[in-house]
Amino acid sequence: MSIWWSLHLRREAASVPLARKLLLGTMETAGVDPDISFDLSVALSEACANAVEHAGSATGYSVTAQIDGDRCRIEVADSGPGLPRDRVRLPARPLTLRGQHAEHGRGLFLIEALMDHVQFHDRPGHGTVVAFDKVLKWREDTLLKAS
């Protein structure tokens, strides 16, 4: 089974739950285990929130999701200035919640913690692509299960 969809969204906070609900509906219809669907939706929400905050002012951002066999891959691309040089690589040590900058970078940390594979493609001056994937588990009553 292969399912994919792509969205081009405005740089508005309301676009984040729209993308999340579309993903969750797709996962439920396909028969994906709810815990896996939840992890994917959290990662997607964090990536979309980053795009809303950092995407270029004149344009929005795009989300592409694909279920191919037993794997889901999601890409979120914006046209902002790119990742700050100190954010291109995630820290090797766990983030602490102390200090005034505890909010910055936590979304990227969550994405990396929840997904099986995460890739950041920085395009300085042209935006960032955050791509992540996760192996899917299926509900017992799934009709569309990967063969």
Q: Is residue 41 part of a domain?
A: yes
DSSP annotation of 98 reads -
Q: Is residue 142 part of a domain?
A: no
Q: Is residue 122 part of a domain?
A: yes
What's the pLDDT score for residue 8? 94
What's the pLDDT score for residue 125? 74
Q: Is residue 30 part of a domain?
A: yes
Asked whether the beta carbons of 126 and 112 are under 8 A apart, the reply is no
What's the pLDDT score for residue 105? 62
What's the pLDDT score for residue 107? 86
- All residue ranges of the chain with pLDDT < 70 are 56-58, 83-105, 143-147
Sheet holding 127-135, edge to edge: 2-9, 61-68, 71-78, 127-135, 117-123
CATH of the domain at 122: 3.30.565.10
CA–chain centroid gap for 114, Å, is: 10
Number of domains in the chain: 1
Q: Is residue 65 part of a domain?
A: yes
Please state, as a whole number, how many other Cβ atoms lie within 10 Å of the Cβ of residue 110. 17
Q: Which domain holds residue 60?
A: 2-91+105-135
What's the pLDDT score for residue 4? 92
What's the pLDDT score for residue 94? 43
Bridge-based pairing state of the strands 61-68 and 71-78: antiparallel
Q: Is residue 21 part of a domain?
A: yes
In sequence order, what are the residues at sequence separation of 6 or more whose Cβ sits closer than 8 angstroms to the Cβ of residue 22?
Answer: 5, 7
Q: Is residue 143 part of a domain?
A: no
Q: Please report, to the nearest 10 degrees, the dihedral formed by the alpha carbons of residues 111, 4, 72, 22 taken in order.
A: 50
Q: Which residues pair with 65 in a beta bridge?
A: 5, 74
- Predicted TM-score (pTM) of this structure: 0.82
Q: Is residue 126 part of a domain?
A: yes
